[in-house]
Chains A and B, each alone.
Chain A
């Protein structure tokens, strides 16, 4: 299992958001089309569908390539990815003229700490587990 560590790191990185996307998209499709909720999120779905999983994969490749040998905690490094994704996600909504629901904007001060905790835990435990299973850490 010494071959292609970066491909394995990429695959371990994209696994979590890819699985979450399946769950989220199923829930969203049900809510949007069955309950007819007027929230055209399909306009900005490109961000969680394409950008986020690839960012996770590349972030894990960066970690395995440069930071693992320096004993930088994976959870903290994974949490730092959010600091890139949040402004990126906001820019996508602005570029595509997507109106963020008012309730989400009101809760914005709480979003970052909660998301940081979730990112930290997911990277530390799930991505770390996948890295170990794939023999890259």
Chain B
């Protein structure tokens, strides 16, 4: 590619990409980020609670399962 072609490509690129005007943020994003972090909570679906409850009930009914479980944990 010749020097002239390179210059032409540069000009075309500059023409096709509009210059960015105002690049400053209109507002501070950090407080919103902090708020979102504070709201972050662990979401446990209902079927996981149901599974946990069923496992708890089963262990209560059959306590002999607990040593076997602990052996594999």
Chain A contact residues, CB within 8 Å of chain B: 16-17, 20, 24, 44, 47-48, 52, 82, 85-86, 89, 101, 103-104, 106-108, 110-111, 113-115, 117-118, 120-122, 124-125, 129
Contact = CB atoms under 8 A, between A and B. Distances in A.
Interface residues of B, number: 19
B73 A114 contact: no
B52 A107 contact: no
A59 to B, nearest CB: 13
A114 B72 CA distance: 12
A118 B69 contact: yes
Nearest to A124: B48
B71 interface: yes
B65 A117 contact: no
B70 A24 contact: yes
- Dominant SS at the B interface? helix
Please give me the 10 A-B residue pairs with the lowest Cβ-Cβ distance, nearest first: A107-B64, A103-B64, A117-B55, A111-B68, A107-B62, A107-B65, A110-B62, A117-B51, A111-B65, A24-B70
A52 B73 contact: yes
Contacts of A120: 51
Nearest to A86: B72
B73 A121 contact: no
A121 B68 contact: no
B44 interface: yes
A44 B72 CA distance: 11
Contacts of A20: 70, 73
